[in-house]
């Protein structure tokens, strides 16, 4: 019986070794590196802009399953200068006027709001994700460059990091501005293209707008990235369609990835970036308290912030009263469930003083 058990154990070990030999190559294949050289980069089209990127590795190209341009997922289809936008295709393209014939290329029918630089994330089964950053080298021409970066933390068509390294740029301190009175009113803000392409949200007078169509016949409460001629040819611009209920002067708050928020005030005279830092009010802990002390978590706070108060009665005394008063009102306080000497209050829009009373 023991001899049979030993033979079964040997057979089992051999099977495990065979399985490990079979699995290891497959696992390794899931982490192959994609090509990092973009051989060509060009655009064409009029009503639809077609971006073409040349690659020499057709095996990797055929394995591509998912494409994102900026923050938008594209659908696989047939790309031409007359096709719908938001689609991509693995095919061929005549770079440099067709001097080398039709070469392998990935083609993208770009959405109307696409601006450069733009990042494209390519996911292929069995490969790490590849991010390609496409930049318009000549603002007034048709020269484009493409830089590819492998996303090391992705694999097997996964969803690794999609962001390019932080450029370190700061938000704009001024914008070019134009508007159209055709309802809904269209506001155009021209600024640095890196910042424009990083925009993720727009609020007008505190109301969040959705990213969507900004054509002249679209409904209000939408924003997107488009183009506007400020007198020197079309330039990239943030386009915001405001509905008829917006009152002016209006505040447009712009949120962008890796940038501080930008607040633009718009009135009939134009638009300007303004500082919109909420005011802070003073929190004073009384020092003339008998038989104890009081401490506050902050010496100043914005309206709506939570402030914590810690009272420390002297030996032989207990806390009797704790009040928070401003010039116009007394602020309600909330006692902690875990510590009877600890309280919190919501900061009002005025300076306050904290006083405690102790008793034996």
Residue 266 half-sphere exposure, CB side, CA atoms within 13 Å? 24
The token pair that represents 151 in the structure block: 């996303």
Phi/psi at 287 (5° precision) = -105, -10
pTM recorded for the entire structure = 0.40
Give pLDDT, residue 166.
Answer: 43
Burial of 186 (C-beta count, 10 Å sphere; 0-12/13-18/19+): buried
What is the Cα–Cα distance from 132 to 39, expressed in whole angstroms? 12
Give pLDDT, residue 92.
Answer: 92
Give pLDDT, residue 167.
Answer: 45
- Blockwise average pLDDT, block size 10, the chain, 360 residues: 48 45 41 85 83 91 90 86 86 82 90 85 89 76 75 48 46 83 80 88 88 74 83 82 86 87 83 70 89 91 87 91 90 90 90 88
What is the Cα–Cα distance from 66 to 279, expressed in whole angstroms? 47
DSSP string, 107-168: EEE--TT--SSEEEEEEETTB--EEEEEEESSTTS--EEEEEEE-TT--SS-----PPPP--
What is the Cα–Cα distance from 125 to 63, expressed in whole angstroms? 6
The token pair that represents 306 in the structure block: 């939570």
DSSP string, 26-79: HHHHTTBPPP----EEEEE-SSS-EEEEE-S-HHHHHHEEEEEETTEEEEE---
In degrees, to the nearest 5, what angle opens at C-alpha 149 toward C-alphas 144 and 153?
Answer: 155
Give pLDDT, residue 104.
Answer: 92
Give pLDDT, residue 359.
Answer: 83
Other CB atoms closer than 10 Å to residue 161's CB: what's the count?
A: 13
* Distances from the Cα of 317 to the Cα of 232, 290, 311, 360, angstroms: 77, 10, 11, 4
């Amino acid at each position: 019986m023991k001899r049979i058990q030993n033979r079964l154990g040997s057979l089992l070990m051999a099977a495990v070794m065979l399985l490990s030999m079979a699995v290891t190559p497959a696992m390794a294949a899931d982490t192959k590196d994609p090509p990092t050289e973009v051989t060509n980069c060009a655009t064409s089209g009029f009503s639809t802009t077609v971006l073409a990127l040349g690659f020499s590795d057709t095996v990797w190209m055929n394995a591509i399953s998912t494409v994102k341009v900026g923050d938008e997922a594209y659908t696989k289809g047939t790309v031409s200068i007359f096709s719908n936008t938001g689609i991509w295709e693995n095919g061929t393209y005549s770079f440099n006027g067709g001097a080398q014939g039709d070469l392998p290329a990935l083609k993208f029918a770009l959405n109307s709001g696409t601006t450069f630089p733009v990042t494209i994330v390519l996911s292929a089964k069995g490969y790490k994700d590849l991010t390609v950053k496409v930049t318009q080298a000549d603002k007034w021409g048709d020269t484009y460059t493409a830089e590819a970066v492998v996303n090391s933390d992705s694999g097997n068509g996964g969803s690794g990091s999609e962001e390019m390294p932080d450029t370190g740029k700061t938000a704009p301190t001024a914008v070019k501005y134009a508007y159209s009175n055709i309802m809904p009113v269209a506001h155009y803000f021209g600024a640095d293209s890196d910042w424009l392409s990083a925009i993720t949200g727009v609020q007008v007078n505190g109301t969040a707008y959705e990213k969507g169509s900004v054509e002249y016949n679209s409904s209000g409460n939408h924003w997107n990235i488009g183009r506007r001629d400020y007198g020197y040819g079309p330039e990239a611009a943030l386009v915001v369609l405001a509905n008829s209920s917006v009152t002016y002067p209006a505040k447009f708050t712009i949120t962008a990835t890796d940038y501080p928020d930008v607040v633009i005030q718009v009135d009939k005279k134009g638009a300007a970036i303004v500082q919109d830092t909420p005011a802070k009010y003073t929190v004073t802990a009384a020092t003339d308290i008998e038989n104890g002390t009081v401490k506050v978590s902050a010496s100043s706070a914005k309206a709506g912030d939570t402030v914590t108060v810690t009272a420390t009665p002297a030996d032989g005394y207990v806390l009797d009263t704790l009040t928070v008063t401003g010039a116009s009102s007394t602020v309600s306080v909330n006692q902690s469930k875990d510590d009877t000497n600890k309280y919190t209050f919501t900061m009002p829009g005025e300076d306050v003083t904290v006083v405690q009373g102790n008793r034996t």
